[in-house]
């Protein structure tokens, strides 16, 4: 099943991705919401789950925000309209939500942020705004009316008196009502405003990138740990200057040279990027199992028909080093260097949430690669499923 309808993946990536919105009717025909309204409310009461409530008006103030967790009695006392409950990281807590992500593997794994669930009664909304990331808005319950505007940025006027970034000058350019199974793609910067027509739930599947500032500071911090940089700036033969306050052009060029040399190694940059982009977004999402596993036990479980599956909150990616330098595997912020025939296991592990067990078992015949898989299980990134699709132990999921 293609979630892009009649639009091919190739055309979507060339004509729509990061360029313009796309409404996809019946992207998920016959969809059943991975979470009920009551279950979503229950998650919003949990300390470990990030949740928010947005009221269009409260105490004569526009677009007011409340952060969870919430008391059950408080949620039960909410008015009949004009509010929205948001729960972040739904895929981290609900396996059925995590499975939805398998339909979006045409986007690189490192781009994935999470799935946010939004429930609202009639009139509920979070206001006209724009996001800095690509997002697919999937309707799972009820109807939501989407108003789509133009492209905005940080200089666009905002509504005052609210902690939310609500656009003050929103103009509708396109409008559509989404039914269960319909989906709307929006590139970064495109203004949008979703308003509940009835009790409705929308899943926001977000794909983010780091800012340029994040890249510079992240790589700089990573490079600074290199032993090769544990030396002082040298000034062996300074020229006589006309003023002691002058910083010479040659000194600035020397600084540029230091920076250029520090960034010449793709291993260093790739290591930071892969680790940063697969780092779990919240503590407690990827946790080691209570009982660590050894290679023999794991192989026995797999032989009994228990396939391995990603933790719901795990992220897997890899990078091929130039000049046949091997492959770097990144899993939940950890880096593993692979060489020779071992590099193939990275592609198997990263292809999707359910790795090809035949191929993985072949690689695990080599003790070093069996140990690699065991380490991923013991850090909580993989867990064995039984034949009914449930984890061997709840704390391993």
* pLDDT above 60 (res 191): yes
Q: What is the pLDDT of residues 111-146, one digit of tens each?
A: 999 999 999 999 999 999 999 999 999 999 999 999
Residue 41 to residue 43: CA distance in whole angstroms: 5
Q: What is the mean pLDDT of residues 5-12?
A: 96
* pLDDT above 70 (res 395): no
347 touches 336 (CB < 8 A): no
Residue 280 to residue 261: CA distance in whole angstroms: 31
Structure tokens of 93? 């807590």
Q: Are strands 22-24 and 61-67 parallel, antiparallel or unpaired?
A: unpaired
Nearest to residue 288, comparing CAs of 332, 348, 318?
332
Question: Domain 9-207: which topology?
Answer: Jelly Rolls (2.60.120)
pLDDT for the residue 5 = 94
Q: How many helices (H) and strands (E) does the chain have?
A: 12, 16
Q: Which CATH number fits domain 295-396: 3.30.750.210, 3.40.50.720, 3.40.366.30, 3.90.25.10?
A: 3.40.366.30
Q: Where are the domains of the chain?
A: 9-207, 212-227+248-264, 295-396
* pLDDT above 80 (res 296): yes
Q: What is the mean pLDDT of residues 41-49?
A: 97
Q: What is the mean pLDDT of residues 349-369?
A: 96
Q: What is the pLDDT of residues 230-277, one digit of tens each?
A: 888 887 777 888 898 988 888 899 999 998 988 888 888 999 999 999
Residue 32 to residue 261: CA distance in whole angstroms: 54
pLDDT for the residue 391 = 53
Q: What is the pLDDT of residues 17-38, one digit of tens each?
A: 999 999 999 999 999 999 999 9
Worst-scoring range by mean pLDDT, 9-23, 280-294, 313-327, 329-343?
280-294
| Distance set, CA 26 to CA 6, 110, 140, 182, 202 (Å) | 10, 27, 11, 5, 14
Confidence of residue 392 (pLDDT cuts 50, 70, 90): very low
Q: What is the DSSP letter of 344?
A: H
Highest mean pLDDT: which of 76-80, 299-303, 390-394?
A: 76-80
State in Å, rounded, how far the first CA of the chain is from the last one.
27
Q: What is the DSSP letter of 391?
A: B
pLDDT for the residue 1 = 57
* pLDDT above 60 (res 397): no
Q: What is the mean pLDDT of residues 86-92?
A: 97
Name the average pLDDT for the chain: 93
* pLDDT above 50 (res 396): no
12 or 248: which leads in pLDDT: 12
* pLDDT above 60 (res 394): no
Helix (H) or strand (E) holding 194: strand 190-196
Worst-scoring range by mean pLDDT, 169-183, 205-219, 380-394?
380-394
Q: What percent of the chain has pLDDT over 90?
A: 82
Domains 9-207 and 295-396 share a fold: no
* pLDDT above 70 (res 59): yes
Worst-scoring range by mean pLDDT, 64-68, 352-356, 387-391?
387-391
Nearest to residue 310, comparing CAs of 91, 47, 88?
91
Confidence of residue 8 (pLDDT cuts 50, 70, 90): very high
């Amino acid at each position: 099943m293609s979630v892009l309808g009649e639009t091919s993946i190739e055309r979507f990536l060339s004509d729509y991705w990061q360029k313009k919105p796309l409404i996809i009717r019946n992207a998920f025909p016959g969809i059943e919401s991975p979470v009920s309204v009551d279950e979503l409310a229950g998650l919003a009461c949990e300390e470990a789950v990030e949740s928010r409530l947005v009221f269009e008006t409260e105490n004569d103030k526009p677009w007011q925000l409340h952060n969870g967790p919430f008391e059950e009695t408080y949620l039960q006392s909410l008015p009949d309209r004009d509010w929205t409950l948001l729960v972040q990281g739904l895929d981290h807590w609900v396996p059925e939500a995590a499975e939805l992500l398998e339909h979006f593997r045409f986007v690189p794994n490192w781009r994935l942020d999470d799935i946010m669930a939004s429930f609202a009664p009639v009139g509920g909304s979070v206001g006209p705004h724009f996001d800095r990331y690509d997002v697919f808005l999937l309707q799972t319950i009820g109807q939501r009316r989407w108003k789509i505007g133009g492209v905005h940025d940080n200089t666009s006027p905002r509504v005052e008196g609210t902690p939310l970034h609500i656009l003050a000058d929103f103009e509708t350019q396109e409008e559509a009502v989404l039914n269960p199974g319909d989906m709307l793609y929006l590139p970064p910067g495109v203004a949008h405003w979703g308003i509940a027509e009835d009790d409705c739930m929308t899943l926001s599947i977000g794909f983010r990138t780091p800012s340029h500032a994040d890249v510079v500071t992240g790589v700089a911090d990573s490079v600074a740990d290199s032993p090769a940089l544990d030396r002082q700036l040298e000034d062996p033969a300074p020229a006589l200057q006309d003023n002691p306050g002058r910083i010479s052009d040659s000194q600035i060029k020397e600084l540029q040279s230091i920076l250029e040399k520090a960034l010449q190694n793709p291993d260093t940059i790739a290591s930071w990027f892969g680790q940063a982009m697969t780092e779990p977004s919240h503590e407690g999402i990827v946790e080691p199992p209570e009982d660590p596993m050894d290679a023999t036990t794991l192989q026995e479980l797999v032989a009994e028909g228990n396939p391995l599956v990603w933790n719901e909150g795990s992220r897997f990616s890899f990078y091929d080093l130039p000049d046949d330098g091997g492959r770097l595997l990144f899993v939940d912020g950890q880096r593993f260097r692979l060489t020779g025939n071992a590099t193939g296991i990275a592609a198997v592990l990263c292809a999707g949430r359910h790795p090809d067990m035949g191929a993985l078992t072949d690689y695990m015949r080599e003790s070093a690669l069996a140990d690699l898989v065991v380490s991923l299980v013991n850090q909580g990134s993989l867990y064995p499923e039984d034949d009914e699709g449930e984890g061997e132990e709840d704390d391993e999921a």
